[in-house]
Structure 1
Amino acid sequence: MWQDQPLRIAGRPVANWLNSVAADLTARVLAGLVDELPIYRALPREEVNGEIAAIIQYNMELFATLVRERRDAFDSELVEQRNSAARRAEEGVPLDAILHAYHAGIGAASKELFEGAGPEDMDDVQVVMGMVLDYLRRLTIAVSAAYLEERQIMDSQENSGRRSLMSALVSGEPVDAVVRRTGLRVAPHYLALSLAIDETSDERGYGVSGTVAGRRKLRRLQAELDRITGEPALTVVDSSGGTALIPCPSSPPDWEELRQMIDQARVVVGADLRVAGAVATPDNVPAAVHETSEIIALVARSGRGPGLYRLADVLLEYQLSRPSPAHVELARLLEPLAAKPELMQTLEAYVASGLNRRATAATLHVHANTVDYRMRRVFELTGLNPSDPADLPQVGAALVAKRALGRPARA
């Protein structure tokens, strides 16, 4: 019967032709989107060339299947498009820009497909045109519904309740009213995390929207935090850092395993993370958050690398950074270096490297002999020799005190 014959236009079986040119058409559609709509120019390259390209090509190949089988799309075949729309909603991409991409893809394919049609093709052209319009109708409905649903979820009572619970826990206010209103439960313990987050390459990229790239980063981070105990993390985090409370069992976490999970999160997020952690009961959350925020500030001042830190990892520096009359006197030991920043920089790098002159030289991009010369000058000016075990504790304490004060002490 004629229905069993493949639809053909300009001598080409429509379904086979669509499959053969899907990749090429996808590249051209993407180029057009980037050229026509600023939002696509601002998106990270990895997103445009990855997920968005994949969904455009998937649409063309799906439509080829529908033409071959002469049927409408099943709801299950539009799941990828709905999921993609939900992710764009999270990132703040406008709905009209999303729909434009889908229409541009089908439109580009249709234009080329119908261009060579002759009078003998009119029956098949009418069938394919009807399928195009029906597919775009179904696609527009599915994508719009998923997008709007995600936006509603983002502002839902559950999210509002989590924010309220987070606020109550961190401020030390009673949580009973929040629990009654939202139905959320309070965990027996929370892993309190303070985070400092570096920029991703996308956020630094020329012409890339930092807002969209930052949202993508935070979405990946949220997923990794949720994985730590399998419970949704309560977070107040922006693209540079913030605070997270992760429900955890009564026993303390395996800190080595947690360290590995933070390292894995760095890879997934695509940015360096410095994280300070402590476990607390709900009543002690405010103290834990205060402690971890001080630890993360200390880690930042001391120039430590990315990773997970606990109080046990910075005990001496933490104690030395507490307000004390000795701070000024300790910092004053390094006062002779105030006008010589290259000496101070070298001293800090030398101590941080474990007194390794070659590692210090590599860090500062100078010759090892330059490090030796500068350390001699430090000794001459301050009377402290960092290489001498008797002087090293005072040098370390003076550096911590100087960082705590934020500036060289003056008489």
Structure 2
Amino acid sequence: MDRPTAKSLCVKVPSPVIIAGVPVHETLRNQLDDVVTKMLARHRRDLDSFRRMPVEEMREDITNISRDVVSYYISWLREGTLATPDQAGRIGGSAARRAEEGVPLEALLAAYVNGLQGIFATLTADAGPDDLDAVLALGNKIFEFIKATTGAVASGYLEEVRTTVGQEHNTRRALLAALLRDESASATAGIAGIGLASEYLLLNLAIGAHPDEQETGVNPTTVTRRMLRRLLAVFEAATDDQALNALEATGGIVLVPISSDMDWSKWSETIAEAGSAAGVTVSAAGALTTSSGVAAAAVQTGEILDVLRWFERAPGLYRLEDVLIEYQLTRPGEARDRLADLLAPLEAHPDLFETLLHYLGGNVNRRRIANLLHVHPNTVDYRLRRIHELTGIDVTEPPGIHRATSALAARRAGESG
């Protein structure tokens, strides 16, 4: 793959920079081996990432690219020409290899500055008072050289990161897709370099709309990507980036390997934190499963999310144990159909049905319901009595509220198929 290269620049230097009576490019050329040796020693001393590099790598790859860069700098000082495309490609290629090895970009950029600091110290060691202008000119040329070379470094590094991250992302999603299709995922896991865990926490998320999506002129794609990035950052921090995910704007699956006793309270807090960080509501259905049970767990947690929606439960993390009654009430069958039919008499009375929805939604204060419906409080009382007469359900009493809520959820479940 071709690496991005810096443009070849041909800038003529009016005259050589002379310090202590000697052109600095000659000083640097004559001390090339010593300068490179000292440069690597500075890296080992000052930069943690280089201290942890294998000796062989320092002796070969890092020494070679350091020699190349110093040679390019000598050409710049002597002729006013920066690295050619081929030379800049070598710089970018070296940066790409460091990216592949996991060396942070900031450490790589720091190495270039660190090395040129050492060169500046070497070239100005014998400078006298009369060399001030030359020292300033040398400093300026160092800044120009840094600007050009670090561009090639960043381009090569970031291209490798994009390629690597893209491949890893696609492979991890392929692994999750295989698990969700109930296929053997061992081969895909091997390619991804991920060992299948003995147990997983499967989280099925329903994500609410972000308020910014309603703003006029706002790009909804930008809002969605920003929201998902913040939400995923919380899960990555909580799982040391070990979770698999297939998330989009409205929700999806997060699969977390579990290596110790399950702490449901921790994950409840994580769900709340993720929603807060992303600025959205998050409802989650969770289940523990093995790799062979991921597909079934995804189906069941999807059904739990339906129950949460039908019963209008608050955002948060729920297990099947939290909604056993509600779950069973909404399973397909004659019992669910009969439960839903309890509200059938209200189909011909939309005003009564609307009043019931507000009442069951938590607005048991009749004056508040009256304000919402723009009617007199006595009208609300009348409608509640009519609901009782038509359905046999007295929603002014706790048993009636529970019965009507269950009937409404069964009705919604039936409408969803």
Normalised TM-score (structure 1) = 0.61
The Cα of 1:364 is off from its aligned counterpart by 6.9
- The residue that corresponds to 1:79 in the other structure is 106
* Alpha-carbon shift at residue 230 of structure 1 (Å): 3.0
Displacement after TM superposition at 1:231 (Å): 4.5
Question: 1:207: Cα distance to partner?
Answer: 2.5
**How far is 1:150 from its partner?**
3.3
Distance in 2 between residues matched to 1:368 and 1:256, nearest whole Å: 43
**1:399 matched residue in structure 2:** 408
Equivalent-residue separation in structure 2 for 1:368 and 1:242 (angstroms):
43
Using the aligned pairs only, state the percent identity. Answer: 38
RMSD: 3.7
Is 2:232–2:274's contact at 8 Å kept on the other side of the alignment?
A: no
CA distance in 1, matches of 2:233, 2:257: 14
TM-score between the two structures when normalised by the length of structure 2: 0.60
Which whole-Å CA distance do the structure 2 matches of 1:359 and 1:310 have between them? Answer: 33
Q: Does 1:224 align with 2:251?
A: no
Q: In structure 2, what is the equivalent of residue 144 of structure 1? A: 155
Per-residue CA deviations over 1:326-384 (Å, capped at 9, x if unaligned) read: 23322222112224344323323423429565776688787765543432231233232
Once the two structures are superposed, residues 148-167 of structure 1 have per-residue CA deviations (whole angstroms, 9 ceiling, x without a partner) of: 233212322x3333122212
2:256 aligned partner: 246
Any gaps of 5 or more consecutive residues in structure 1? 4-74, 83-122
Moved more, 306-315 or 130-139: 130-139
Distance 1:338 1:300 in 2: 21
What CA distance in whole angstroms lies between the structure 2 residues aligned with 1:372 and 1:272? 34
Taking the aligned partners of 2:352 and 2:401, their CA distance within structure 1 comes to 16
Match of 1:182 among 192, 195, 200: 192
Residue of structure 1 equivalent to 2:325 = 316
| Inter-partner Cα distance in structure 2 for 1:346 and 1:182 | 55
Aligned twin of 2:303:
294
Shift of 1:146: 4.5
Question: Structure 1 pair 270/143, CA: closer, same or farther in 2 (3 Å)?
Answer: farther
* Map of 1:258 onto structure 2: 267
The 3 A distance-change label for structure 1 pair 207 and 141 is farther
Aligned to 1:386: 395
For 1:344, which of 346, 353, 360 is the aligned residue? 353
Secondary structure of the residue aligned to 2:196 is: coil
Match of 1:159 among 169, 194, 202: 169
Count of residue correspondences: 294
> Aligned runs of 1:27-66 on 2, under 5 Å?
none
2-structure distance, mates of 1:406, 1:301: 10
- Kindly tell me: are residues 210 and 146 of structure 1, through their superposed partners in 2, closer, same or farther at Cα, counting changes over 3 Å? farther
1:172 aligns with 2:172: no
CA distance 1:363–1:248, change in 2 (3 Å): farther
The answer as to whether partners of 2:311 and 2:405 remain within 8 angstroms in 1 is no
Distance 1:362 1:185 in 2: 59
Partners in 2 of 1:349 and 1:196 — Cα distance? 23
